[in-house]
Chains A and B, each alone.
Chain A
Amino acid sequence: MVHSELSRRGLLAGIGGLGAAALLGGCATSSSDSGSGSSATLTLQSSLSDPSPKAALTKVVEGYTKTKVTLNTIAIESFRAQLPTYLNSATPPDVLTWYAGSVARDYASKGFLLDVSDLWTGSGACAGFSPALKELSTGADGKQIFVPTNYYWWGMFYRKSAFQEWGVRPATTWDEFIALCKAIKAKGVAPLTMGTGSTPWVASGWFDYLDLRVNGAQFHRDLLAGKHSFDGPEVKAVMEHYRELLPYIDPKGRSYSWQDAVTPLASKKAGMYLIGAFITQSVPKDVVDDIDFFRVPIIDPSVPVAEEAPTDGYFASARSKNVAGAKELLSYLASAPAQEEFIKLSASSNLPTSPRVSTAGFSPLVQKGIKLLNESAAITQFFNRDSSDELQSTADTALTKFLDSPADVDSILAGWQSAAQKVLNS
């Protein structure tokens, strides 16, 4: 009895001692980490989770030898949800991938982003970039907070050989487009594929484009800035056009991600996909050359043609422990060779932001994309990039609801407006 008591006490003391030792050890390692880690290693938090862009960025980062860089790649939907938390943490990643425009401005206004204005002047890495890109990368206080490294266009992507088989041709007007959808549907094929399951933001692609075609770019920007109402007559007109498309959208897309929804297009079980040029990275290698696109059809010829050209790149955290290192890494990522290498390896059809990268050797598809953007009177980004990630979630709720029950459009838009109002007021 006494013996067992003693041994139990001994055991407890032992456990206590071990625990204390582990705790002390924990303290020791964590303090040494934060002490030496500040200058030695940079953290680059990346949302480029699709295989090819991930491999491309890994390769580009390997080419950077000045400081050791830890590349953390997070699945993009988690990254999107967690981004505010990353930026808000006490030891945030130094550099992060994300988007130019209002979404970056929104984070900057919360004090999360590092001022990188010096990269945009003199011999800075972004000094030669176009004024439009500079404007996109500028916060509300006039300071640059973003480093754009590539951009891309949106369009109606399709397979040339499929269109040939079905005997149909790309449309330029709305009536032609609806006729095209009808013709494809008559072949027993879903005319439009759209993955709105785990990536509900894809539904905003059509919303953006229909708004641009019906109400124009300026109205669209103002709407997303809260200057117009989501249940006003203009948006109702947009939803009228959206409703015309519903019979032609593959209903299975509601369970798919945007990547899953590429499969029916590639296997000719679906006709067209309104999506960004990044689609080429999700298409099988032997199909890439068969992929083509056309401009989203014009609805009102009196509205100046606008296109979506989202700009990707990097920003740095305001609380980075190694500001100089973060800026050097940003300069490297923005440099012409790094941009060129990334675009080549990532198999996407992105365009470089640096004027020093020659696009002459890019594929015919990309040349057509450049031409599309050059011919448009206005450029927008995308719903979340022109507003905020929080407003995007109100659009996701409203638009996926609309896809399921288009008859409730009025109450859906009223709900959208009140949800958006809440976001804009907060």
Chain B
Amino acid sequence: MTVAAASRRRRHISPVVWLFLLVPAAVEVGLVFWPAVNSFYLSLTKWNGLGAPENVGLRNYRDMFSDGVFREALGNNVIWAVGFGGLSVAGGLALAVALNKPRRGVGVYRSAIYLPMVFSLAVTGLFWRVQYQPDGTVNTLLGAVGLESLERQWLADPKTALYAVLVAAVWRQVGYVMVLYLAGLKGTDPSLDDASAVDGAGPWQRFWYVTWPQLRGVNTVVFAVTVIDSLRTFDIVWAMTQGGPYHSSELLSTYMFQQGFTFLNLGYASAIAVVIFALALLFIITYLVRTLKEEVS
């Protein structure tokens, strides 16, 4: 029955539908896949955008490993991925759990925390740049509570610049992660929580052994979103420090932009882009494989 039904159904698909499918497929291939494949090719060349690219084999990749700025950017990306991912997931989850129970005014808190997500990253960057000025809010507050010794030029100090930008990025991301977890928490079974409470489980045990395992689906989404967001971070760093002072807050993405569009080293920039792509793929595939394995077992 199923075979006959399926074959009859297949016959029903008219050529017009195929045509309509073909148009978006062609757009996708032409505007997404072709440029992506092209950047793999460009990463093996030296090209300033003018004339024919000159083939240089793997030289761009070899140069990368002797390039101090690239290594610094890679290191910063690791700090960024851990800090951005860890803080926004921990903060978002904590807020979601705290604001999950319906209470008076809880909606106001949820919206307030989600609000920064509405601003573009560039606006967030400009806003925080003002807070970090030498006489800005951050230093003024520190001074007001007697912590003058901690006052510094947050964005101009190479020791703090990256972390100062990180705080601004997490401030924005935390609301997003919170909303994802709130949705996840809505999907958990409240009777399990009640039952375990009756059985005498403490709040921490209830969360860790009852609620957390039910959030596995959301975790996969949050992990993927966080890894992708942290690897593609660009605008907020560009708006706040442009990778400075002297490359101390440089990420792979800002370095790629500078190499590609300021210096027109399009071959080298493409090679950096390929590295970013490989890193994203590596993280996400490893994670997905692990999750799927767990689900199967």
Q: What residues of chain B lie closer than 8 Å to A124, measured between beta carbons?
A: none
- The residue on A at minimum CB distance from B49 is A88
Q: Is A111 an interface residue (CB 8 A)?
A: yes
- Please determine whether B17 and A84 come into contact, CB atoms closer than 8 angstroms: no
Question: Complex formed: what's the CA distance from A396 to B21 in Å?
Answer: 52
Q: Is B285 an interface residue (CB 8 A)?
A: no
- Please determine whether A13 and B158 come into contact, CB atoms closer than 8 angstroms: no
Measured CB to CB, the closest approach of chain B to A358, in angstroms, equals 41
- Please determine whether A88 and B23 come into contact, CB atoms closer than 8 angstroms: no
Measured CB to CB, the closest approach of chain A to B239, in angstroms, equals 10
Measured CB to CB, the closest approach of chain A to B56, in angstroms, equals 12
Question: Complex formed: what's the CA distance from A243 to B153 in Å?
Answer: 21
- Please determine whether B20 and A254 come into contact, CB atoms closer than 8 angstroms: no
Known: A88-B49, A255-B134, A397-B246. A13 touches B17 (CB 8 A): yes
Q: Is B188 an interface residue (CB 8 A)?
A: no
- The residue on B at minimum CB distance from A252 is B134
- A residues 359-411 in Cβ contact with B at 8 Å: 389-390, 393, 396-398, 400-401, 404
Instruction: Kindly identify which residue among B49, B153, B261 contacts A254, using a CB–CB cutoff of 8 Å.
Output: B153
Q: B130-152: contact bitstring with A at CB < 8 Å (1 yes, 0 no)?
A: 00111100000000000000000
Q: What residues of chain A lie closer than 8 Å to B17, measured between beta carbons?
A: 9, 12-13
Measured CB to CB, the closest approach of chain A to B146, in angstroms, equals 21
Q: Is A67 an interface residue (CB 8 A)?
A: no
From A16-24, A94-102, A113-121, A129-137, the one touching the partner chain is A16-24
- Please determine whether A401 and B246 come into contact, CB atoms closer than 8 angstroms: yes
Q: Is the interface of B mostly helix, strand, loop or mixed?
A: loop
- The residue on A at minimum CB distance from B264 is A84
Q: Is the interface of A mostly helix, strand, loop or mixed?
A: helix
Known: A16-B23, A390-B263. A110 touches B132 (CB 8 A): no
Q: What residues of chain B lie closer than 8 Å to A267, measured between beta carbons?
A: none
Q: A233-256: contact bitstring with B at CB < 8 Å (1 yes, 0 no)?
A: 000000000000000000110111
Question: Complex formed: what's the CA distance from A43 to B157 in Å?
Answer: 40
Number of interface residues of B (CB under 8 A): 30
Known: A13-B17, A252-B153. A19 touches B245 (CB 8 A): no
- The residue on A at minimum CB distance from B260 is A85
Q: Is B121 an interface residue (CB 8 A)?
A: no
Q: Is B247 an interface residue (CB 8 A)?
A: yes
- The residue on A at minimum CB distance from B51 is A111
Q: What residues of chain B lie closer than 8 Å to A254, measured between beta carbons?
A: 153, 156-157, 245
- B residues 229-285 in Cβ contact with A at 8 Å: 242, 244-247, 258, 261-265
- A residues 1-58 in Cβ contact with B at 8 Å: 9, 12-13, 16-17, 19-20, 23
Question: Complex formed: what's the CA distance from A330 to B267 in Å?
Answer: 35
Question: Complex formed: what's the CA distance from A193 to B21 in Å?
Answer: 63
Q: What residues of chain B lie closer than 8 Å to A23, measured between beta carbons?
A: 23, 27
- Please determine whether B20 and A13 come into contact, CB atoms closer than 8 angstroms: yes
Q: Is A81 an interface residue (CB 8 A)?
A: yes
Q: B12-47: contact bitstring with A at CB < 8 Å (1 yes, 0 no)?
A: 000011001101100100000000000000000000
Instruction: Kindly identify which residue among A20, A256, A389, A397 contacts B247, using a CB–CB cutoff of 8 Å.
Output: A397
Question: Complex formed: what's the CA distance from A252 to B23 in Å?
Answer: 56
- The residue on B at minimum CB distance from A80 is B262
- Please determine whether A111 and B158 come into contact, CB atoms closer than 8 angstroms: no
- Please determine whether A400 and B261 come into contact, CB atoms closer than 8 angstroms: no
Question: Complex formed: what's the CA distance from A396 to B69 in Å?
Answer: 14
Q: Is A197 an interface residue (CB 8 A)?
A: yes
The residues of B with any CB-CB pair to A shorter than 8 Å are 16-17, 20-21, 23-24, 27, 48-50, 132-135, 153, 155-158, 242, 244-247, 258, 261-265
Query: Could you jot down 12 A-B contacts, CB within 8 Å?
Result: A13-B20, A17-B20, A81-B262, A88-B48, A110-B48, A112-B50, A197-B155, A200-B245, A255-B133, A400-B244, A401-B245, A426-B265
Instruction: Identify 19 new A-B residue pairs, CB closer than 8 A, beyond the known A88-B49, A110-B50.
Output: A12-B17, A12-B20, A81-B258, A84-B262, A84-B264, A111-B50, A197-B155, A198-B242, A254-B156, A255-B132, A255-B134, A389-B262, A390-B263, A393-B263, A397-B246, A404-B157, A404-B158, A404-B245, A426-B265
